[in-house]
Amino acid sequence: MVTVRLPRATCDRYERLSLFNSPYPAHGAGRAVDCYPGGARCAPSPVAGTVRETLAARAPTRPGADDSDHLILVDVDREASGLGPGDPLVARVLHVDPAVAPGDRVEVGAALGRLVDSGYFAPWVDPHLHLGLRSPDRNLRRASGSVPVTLGVDLDPLAWDGRGRVAERGETWVRLDAPAPDGAGGWTGLGASGPAPVVLDGGLPHYAGGGALGDGPDGPLSLLGTVVADRTGRRVAWREVEVRVAVAGGDPARVVGLSLFLVRDGRTGVKLVAPEHDATVGDAVRVSVAPGERPRLGRPAPQE
């Protein structure tokens, strides 16, 4: 099956990227990428081409979320998108209230519209756009049917001892200032040890599975001294583990998990999914992973 490689120049338009940090099957199979611009609500297009159709639908109800979500379909100009020659593709872009209409020409980086805080997101998920690519002869409205996606970036796996300080907090999450890269520039992510170092991507361990990005053989992967996953290709199956957090030298408490992304230019630091946390900015935190009954959020990914 054809795999589409999103070029570095396109990836660099976003602060964060994730192939696997979602409960939805397209992400579990590595067939979609979530792109986080950061800052403003403007959604820069990941592709060039002609808008085919825009659609709106009711979204699940969640406090503070938009009551509608949106789908923008774009007939992809492969050359202008940096995708190289190949079969025709249609891009499916979700979670953007469109400022474009059918027939409009868009370029990579052009504003597609306003990012929405969709009711499909968990409350700890920031606004982003979802990109899937598929053949125009597939059903363009269904969630399934997109082709596998890879990212044209080199990734630096970051070692971490579980220590950090709270850099930012919300009602259901905490972002730490660690791990941090040694120098500026490039793409990084939380590293796991195994037969070869790789970057972990996904919701550990609360989503059905995640991803291991980087060269290396299949096998077990460890984090903070505990085997957390088993790798098969790019995909990982989480072991029965739980994430614990000790704040300011207190006793460790179980949290939902780690929300893991690929980040650019030193914008690093893991995100803890912790709906009942009491941490404040500046608190010293220590994260550990231990065998235990992991939380299960979302649906299992299909075996594609």
* Domain ranges across the chain: 4-151, 155-291
pLDDT surpasses 80 at 183: no
Mean pLDDT of 149-178: 95
pLDDT tens profile 53-65: 999 999 888 888 8
pLDDT surpasses 80 at 218: yes
Contact 110, 45 (CB under 8 A): yes
What is d(CA 3, CA 33) in angstroms, rounded to the nearest whole number? 13
Per-residue confidence (pLDDT) for residue 297, from 0 to 100: 80
Higher per-residue pLDDT: 196 or 283: 283
Per-residue confidence (pLDDT) for residue 298, from 0 to 100: 62
pLDDT surpasses 90 at 81: yes
Q: What percentage of the chain exceeds 90 in pLDDT?
A: 76
Per-residue confidence (pLDDT) for residue 299, from 0 to 100: 47
Give the position of tokens 């905490």: 174
Average pLDDT, the chain: 92
Per-residue confidence (pLDDT) for residue 1, from 0 to 100: 64
pLDDT surpasses 90 at 138: yes
pLDDT tens profile 229-276: 999 999 999 999 999 999 988 999 999 999 999 999 877 689 999 998
Task: Name the nearest CA neighbour of 47 among 94, 93, 95.
Answer: 93
Contact 32, 144 (CB under 8 A): no
Per-residue confidence (pLDDT) for residue 62, from 0 to 100: 85
Per-residue confidence (pLDDT) for residue 267, from 0 to 100: 72
pLDDT tens profile 27-42: 988 999 999 998 778 9
Confidence of residue 88 (pLDDT cuts 50, 70, 90): very high
pTM of the model: 0.93
Mean pLDDT of 65-88: 95
Confidence of residue 122 (pLDDT cuts 50, 70, 90): confident
Higher per-residue pLDDT: 266 or 2: 2
If one looks up domain 4-151 in CATH, what number appears?
2.70.70.10
